Amino acid sequence: MMLRPVPLSLLLVLLPACGGEHQVRPNVLVISIDMLRADHVSSYGYERTTTPTIDGLADDGVRFARHVSSAPWTLPAHAAMFTSLPDSVHGCVDGTSNALPDGITTLAERYSQAGYGTSGFFAGPYLHPAFGLGQGFDEYRFCVPDLAARLDGQSVDQWAGDPAAHRRSHHGVTNPGVVNAASAWLREHREDPFFMFVHLWDAHFDFVPPAPFDARFGDPSYDGFVDGREFFFDQRIHGGMDDRDLRQLIALYDGEIMWCDVHVKLLLGLLDELQLADDTIVVVTSDHGTEFFDHGSKGHRRTLYGEAINIPLVIRAPGRLPRGMVVDDLTRMVDLGPTLMELSGLAPSNEFVGQSLAPLARGEDVPPRIALSELLADQNRMRSVISGQGKLVWNEVTGDAVWFNLASDPKELKPQRDLTQGLGLELLRALQAEMETIERVAEQHQYPWQPIVLPPALDSAIRASGYGGGDK
């Protein structure tokens, strides 16, 4: 972890805030609901009421209607969330060879430098500190005790050799452990300004929400084979499966989303109880979505379609952002860090590539953004750019480049290939501009990538969970 002296420029920014009698440094709570597709959130237009708490939070704050992740899977997306850098620059992209470099300044490090208490609570294997994501956190805890204990060196060899155990661990219900740990920490540190990251993993497959959420959306008469388990491994779950089975699968996913929403409610309730709600910026977002055969396949980390990269972002910042605002402009994962810096009265790191969303949230006119997403894991090298109403997907391995008109084809079902004119040409230029930005920023910083040293059990757990490898 990186501990740096507080730079003079940062002190100058902080001094007025510290000296002002009525100025309070806001607390920050970032909740990441893993694998939450934007189009399954009620306030984003979903027909089911999956997310009453998140919708209420949006009513009290700002909802960003077109928010795009940097990547279609957990590790690089969270690395971009924490660093405000594109995947190509932070380099933490494949989960097999490179961890987030120590030299990169993370959000937690920024808050720590500013005197905040910092904590992170997570339940998914790709948030493990072996990947470098724990930088800057005073406390960074894996909240699945049996898995964490094994990863910490107890019975690693025995456990690592048992694939069935790994699969079972993926079936677990982990939200209560995460929220209980986060709540206990919050009660202890309520007096200090805090930056807290909470990762809810249960919406990620498998889909086994506890009652009553398991039956909340499904057909009560359903008697098929789908029980939410083995989503990735069960060969009966494929693109040609019976529609009733697919509907049951999605109903269980939606039940998991509502189960996560309940845990967001618990955290918001604790802020109310501790009388911290007015002084706390709350963010609810996700790292990526997933595919339910929208384009023929299941899972994620294999394409850059909207179902894999379109994610929700809701920010409630009392007194700092308006209430009930909906931003329809395109926004990006890398914009979250600069937004939090501005809302917290902290100078943005000069390493950040994103830009604050606060002006947009206040209704100001700002130049439109280009959203870049990348998939650089396994055998894939894909990049997409969204600009205006167009989206270009470039597959560097096959050389294929297709684009979609999102205004007339929002589900990306009608690929276009003419890049010589009109929207296609505009998108090609947008992609070139993004690539130039990547080159410039990468050259400017020259971050030394460092090797990931994974505990053997973590490596095995990741493989057994369906991650790691081109098999999904």
Give the footprint of Zn ion on this chain (CB under 5 A): 34, 74, 287
**Minimum distance from residue 466 beta carbon to Zn ion (Å):** 12
Q: Which is nearer to Zn ion, 375 or 406 (CB)?
A: 375
- Name the nearest CA neighbour of 99 among 122, 76, 124, 69: 76
Q: Which is nearer to Zn ion, 81 or 237 (CB)?
A: 81
- Host H or E run for residue 65: strand 62-68
- Name the nearest CA neighbour of 259 among 30, 47, 53: 53
Cβ pair 409, 402 in contact under 8 A: no
**Minimum distance from residue 110 beta carbon to Zn ion (Å):** 23
Q: Which residue of the chain is nearest Zn ion when measured via CB?
A: 74
Cβ pair 381, 395 in contact under 8 A: yes
Task: Cis check for the bond before 202: say yes or no (omega within 30 of 0).
Answer: no
**Minimum distance from residue 467 beta carbon to Zn ion (Å):** 9
Q: Which is nearer to Zn ion, 204 or 383 (CB)?
A: 204
Kindly state the tokens that stand for 43.
Answer: 């306030």
Q: Which is nearer to Zn ion, 34 or 459 (CB)?
A: 34
**Minimum distance from residue 127 beta carbon to Zn ion (Å):** 9
Q: Which is nearer to Zn ion, 141 or 288 (CB)?
A: 288
Torsion of CA 412, 417, 423, 426, to 10 degrees: 110
Q: 176: buried, middle or exposed (CB in 10 Å: 19+, 13-18, 0-12)?
A: middle
SS3 (DSSP) at 311: strand
**Minimum distance from residue 364 beta carbon to Zn ion (Å):** 32
Q: Which is nearer to Zn ion, 287 or 459 (CB)?
A: 287
Q: Which is nearer to Zn ion, 356 or 373 (CB)?
A: 373
Cα(129)–Cα(137) distance, rounded to whole angstroms? 10
Q: Which is nearer to Zn ion, 86 or 95 (CB)?
A: 95
**Minimum distance from residue 462 beta carbon to Zn ion (Å):** 12
State how far Cα 309 lies from the chain centre. Answer: 10
**Minimum distance from residue 96 beta carbon to Zn ion (Å):** 17
**Minimum distance from residue 333 beta carbon to Zn ion (Å):** 12
Q: What is the phi/psi pair of residue 198, to 5°?
A: -125, 125
- Name the nearest CA neighbour of 87 among 305, 404, 397, 380: 380
Cβ pair 351, 105 in contact under 8 A: yes
Contacts of 404 (CB under 8 A, 6+ apart): 390, 391, 393, 412, 414, 415, 416
Q: Which is nearer to Zn ion, 32 or 118 (CB)?
A: 32
**Minimum distance from residue 252 beta carbon to Zn ion (Å):** 18
- Name the nearest CA neighbour of 301 among 67, 75, 38, 456: 75
CA angle 291–295–296, rounded 5-degree value? 90
